[in-house]
Chain A
């Protein structure tokens, strides 16, 4: 310890300055983090570019008809005499399977999220979360297998449908696959609502259900919407399970017991057969672009919906 100078001069402790290397390191780290951020944009654009590049030549083909491609239900890519590439039935199949899956998955998924977050005890919560994560880890081919064997037999037995692999089967399988995502993201969203809201509401004499309906759900709205949309994304993009469970018939279904085919399953099943560079091959890539556009529109609407809600 140095003695305080009698003259009253201020004694200043010198802090060691930062070394240039440390500053440089900091800069480098910042650039690295920025790069990883931008890489996400880069990869999305790159994927779109490559898919589109494979598909593009067919767009300029004189025989290609964009209207037929989008709105015709005639998908005869290997016909000898009259080749037709109409994807409407496939698009419809994708949308129908996804919609059916969501009708099942959203109530169950959000219900489970609310139960885990608000009603279950500590130990039960841990167990449920682990099991649900386990459910999310089941490979899609296993789900497809379940659809093909167990579910299909069950559907035939219960409904008397001629075939068990159909829209209903695919919808149920997809619902089971999306529920874990909806539950875990939804539960995170509910967990993010401060406890003070719950207590304030209940201190005002609200019952638990009133608290959940009037305070918790509005507060967690954006997160819950995100959970549902991630579920939709999972369902739209899923390939193997729907390929095995939906029956793979190109047609507009008249009911849940009709077989359908989805855009994804169609690509997976036919790309291996199509000669590289052939019109069939290119149209399949164009189907990929269509899928891209569909998911993009879904995400964009979601984003705008969330923004709109926030503004309100």
Chain B
């Protein structure tokens, strides 16, 4: 297996079935190091399921079976020995925020602590940095000890982003992160993502096609569990993408 070193994630002939219903029908693609890679497509096209395959959170779904290979830094994700370490390397932000029933501080410090970091000073610094990166620090710096679940929806979503950054992942997967956030905050986080993409790889699933256009170097259009088109964002959003369906979807006349 010769995985080119500039590829962070290599997916080959990935199939995913829930019970007997196959939802991803053998797709292959690669994600380069430190790029922002966008996945767009209508609902039910397998985008979120695909993300969950990447860090094996698909394991939580009873009856889900995955075949094919996903290589992360050359390592087969399906056969990885330490799935916990894998999940730390591939961070995940879910579409609806799940504040753990802990304080704001503990929410962010959760993953580092699980990974064995207990130095108070180190943790403090890390928590502050992650909250700053998620554009939340200024709003919560005076109440780090209050419950994370008491924050507003948008703040909770940024808290989950801070949390996903807290274990310093190599890849950050965001699944429609802007669903619960206002446009101004969304833009702030988009700036953060651009900033982050210098150091880490970002896989962005989004329903907002313009968001993909703003952020991604390459965009993949998925439909019904298959890749319709994958290419440079300029091409996908141009007047003449390779596939007619891409044009229709991107321009809102899909139907």
**A214–B114 contact, CB under 8 A?**
yes
**A207–B84 contact, CB under 8 A?**
yes
Would A215 and B88 be within 8 Å (CB), given that A204-B163, A205-B167 are in contact? no
Kindly specify which of A24-32, A101-109, A194-202, A269-277 makes contact with the partner chain. Answer: A194-202
**A207–B114 contact, CB under 8 A?**
yes
Name A195-224 residues within 8 Å CB distance of B. 195-207, 210, 214-215, 218-219
Chain A's interface: helix, strand, loop or mixed, by majority?
helix
- Look across to chain B and name the residue whose beta carbon is closest to the beta carbon of A205: B88
State in angstroms the CA–CA spacing of A206 and B112 once bound together: 9
**B100–A200 contact, CB under 8 A?**
yes
Specify which chain A residues have a CB less than 8 angstroms from the CB of B57 in the assembled complex: 199, 202-203
Is B3 at the interface (CB under 8 A from chain A)?
A: no
Would A215 and B101 be within 8 Å (CB), given that A203-B92, A205-B111, A206-B114 are in contact? yes
Name B95-126 residues within 8 Å CB distance of A. 98, 100-102, 110-111, 113-115
- Look across to chain A and name the residue whose beta carbon is closest to the beta carbon of B169: A205
Is B236 at the interface (CB under 8 A from chain A)?
A: no
Name A254-273 residues within 8 Å CB distance of B. none
Specify which chain B residues have a CB less than 8 angstroms from the CB of A198 in the assembled complex: 60
Would A219 and B101 be within 8 Å (CB), given that A204-B167, A207-B114 are in contact? yes
Specify which chain B residues have a CB less than 8 angstroms from the CB of A204 in the assembled complex: 87-88, 91, 110-111, 114, 163-164, 166-167
Would A203 and B102 be within 8 Å (CB), given that A214-B110, A214-B113, A214-B114 are in contact? no
Specify which chain B residues have a CB less than 8 angstroms from the CB of A197 in the assembled complex: 98, 100-101
State in angstroms the CA–CA spacing of A195 and B100 once bound together: 11
State in angstroms the CA–CA spacing of A195 and B86 once bound together: 21
Would A196 and B110 be within 8 Å (CB), given that A203-B92, A205-B167 are in contact? no
Chain A min CB distance to B204 (Å): 17
Chain A min CB distance to B144 (Å): 15
State in angstroms the CA–CA spacing of A207 and B100 once bound together: 15
- Look across to chain A and name the residue whose beta carbon is closest to the beta carbon of B62: A122
Count residues on chain B whose CB falls below 8 Å from chain A CBs.
Answer: 25
- Look across to chain A and name the residue whose beta carbon is closest to the beta carbon of B173: A203
- Look across to chain B and name the residue whose beta carbon is closest to the beta carbon of A221: B101
**B84–A205 contact, CB under 8 A?**
yes
**A200–B102 contact, CB under 8 A?**
no
Contact partner, A201, options B55, B85, B100, B164, Cβ 8 Å: B100
Is B94 at the interface (CB under 8 A from chain A)?
A: yes
Name B143-164 residues within 8 Å CB distance of A. 160, 163-164
**B60–A215 contact, CB under 8 A?**
no
State in angstroms the CA–CA spacing of A203 and B60 once bound together: 10
Specify which chain B residues have a CB less than 8 angstroms from the CB of A205 in the assembled complex: 84-88, 111, 114-115, 167
B57-92 near A? 1/0 per residue, CB < 8 Å? 100100000000000000000000000111110011
A179-200 near B? 1/0 per residue, CB < 8 Å? 0000000000000000111111
**A202, A203, A215 interface centre (most CB from chain B within 10 Å):** A203
**A196, A200, A205 interface centre (most CB from chain B within 10 Å):** A205
Specify which chain B residues have a CB less than 8 angstroms from the CB of A200 in the assembled complex: 94, 98, 100, 160
Chain A min CB distance to B82 (Å): 9
Chain B min CB distance to A4 (Å): 31
- Look across to chain B and name the residue whose beta carbon is closest to the beta carbon of A201: B100
- Look across to chain A and name the residue whose beta carbon is closest to the beta carbon of B106: A214
State in angstroms the CA–CA spacing of A201 and B92 once bound together: 11
State in angstroms the CA–CA spacing of A195 and B85 once bound together: 21
Specify which chain B residues have a CB less than 8 angstroms from the CB of A207 in the assembled complex: 84, 114
Sample of 19 A–B contacts (CB below 8 Å): A196-B94, A199-B98, A200-B94, A200-B160, A202-B57, A202-B60, A203-B55, A204-B88, A204-B91, A204-B164, A205-B87, A205-B114, A205-B115, A207-B114, A214-B102, A214-B110, A214-B114, A215-B102, A219-B101
B interface residue numbers (CB < 8 A to A): 55, 57, 60, 84-88, 91-92, 94, 98, 100-102, 110-111, 113-115, 160, 163-164, 166-167
Query: 5 shortest A-B CB distances, which residue pairs?
Result: A205-B88, A204-B111, A205-B87, A200-B98, A206-B114
Known: A203-B94, A204-B114, A204-B166. 8 other contacts (CB 8 A): A197-B101, A199-B57, A199-B98, A200-B160, A203-B55, A203-B87, A205-B85, A215-B101
